[in-house]
Amino acid sequence: MELQPKTQTLLALWKEARTRFSTQLASLQSQDLTRKLPLTQNSVGFLIRHIGDVEFLFAKNVFGGHLSVSAKTLIAQHDTGEWTNLPSLLEYIAQSGEALENAIALQRDQDWDVEIVTKEFGVKTKAESLGRIISHTAHHGGQLAVILKYTDREK
């Protein structure tokens, strides 16, 4: 299936924006997952899982992907300390990125102006919602970068 022009452009925008988060994953080590800034709650592992959870939710609830989602970080509403398996987290974040990419790619150009309603952010067009997921990933990707830069890696 060939992508329509607007969808192709918006998908390229999302993919490029996500690299600000995804490029950080290559150098992670297992001991990095428990790192967090002093006086904060969210660890590196939690942030990675949270980004994946929200990507899956957007794929399903905003862009109509047919998948089952268990957004554990949203259910718990705090870092439970369980996000310490690096291979599992990397697989999860790869799957969430692929699910969101596939759901975006299925949009027709006219779909981007369709309004959707969510309890989290109210009424938005699908285009505005895409901006929301891009900024969400960038926000938490930035937190991840700061944690990795300014905290010590456990020995």
> 22: which 2 tokens?
């995804």
Looking at residue 1, its pLDDT comes to: 66
> 103: which 2 tokens?
């759901």
> 65: which 2 tokens?
């992907």
Looking at residue 154, its pLDDT comes to: 67
Looking at residue 121, its pLDDT comes to: 85
CA pair distance 66, 144, nearest whole angstrom: 29
Tell me the domain boundaries of the chain: 5-150
Alpha carbon 102 to chain centroid, angstroms: 14
* pTM, rounded to two decimals: 0.94
| Cβ proximity of 102 and 1 under 8 Å | no
* Per-residue confidence in pLDDT tens, the chain, 155 aa: 687 999 999 999 999 999 999 999 999 999 999 999 988 999 999 999 999 999 999 999 999 988 888 899 999 999 999 999 999 999 999 999 999 999 999 999 999 999 999 888 899 999 999 999 999 999 999 999 999 999 988 65
CATH says 5-150 is which class?
A: mainly alpha
